[in-house]
Amino acid sequence: MQKLNWNVKLRQPSIKDLDDLLRWENDILKIDHTDMPVFYTKDQMIIYLNSNQDPFIDGQVRYMINLDDMSIGYIDLYNFDIVHSRAGVGIFIDKKFRKKGIAYKALKTLIEISNKELHLNQLFAEVFQSNKAAISLFEHAGFILSGLKKQWIRKQEAYEDLLFFQLMNT
């Protein structure tokens, strides 16, 4: 993996991200890495971008990943559980910027936010067994493989296992 000294920052999404988010969310190739493919209309995305994003109310929060002043992906906390102090992590990097260490920097920043600002006890990630890049990313960031969901994801006529990773913030 080529690692460069990228200036990676996370920020809240805004209306200026509309075109990028629509392109990324509606990319049919993303179906290989998600168990819930959802396609959004422009109107749905505008409503989302104009809403307040509060993980304590909505159960999720998205951060845009910026490289200098350019959005190159997003990272999410989902299934935000205030009672049990945990959340799932999902990440997407535009294909032009993959394998450059950017996802790792974004994930480390999110870990810091989840610990210092959101006071979460743990983060988790559910990764398709075939997604070697995501497995490597989460392991490199300190996540530990703690579970396996056998034949959890249906892919046409076959099934794929889902790996469950955890990171304790305490």
Distance (Å, whole) CA 67 – CA 72? 7
pLDDT of residue 1: 42
pTM of the model as a whole: 0.85
* pLDDT for residue 148: 96
Burial of 28 (0-12, 13-18, 19+ CB in 10 A): exposed
Can you give the pLDDT at residue 68? 83
In this structure, the number of other CB atoms found within 10 A of the CB of residue 5 comes to 7
Residue stretches of the chain with pLDDT short of 70: 1-6, 27-38, 170
Task: Please give the mean pLDDT across all residues of the chain.
Answer: 87
Report the interhelical angle of 102-116 vs 132-140 (nearest 10°): 50
CB 107 within 8 A of CB 141: yes
Q: Please give the pLDDT value at position 135.
A: 97
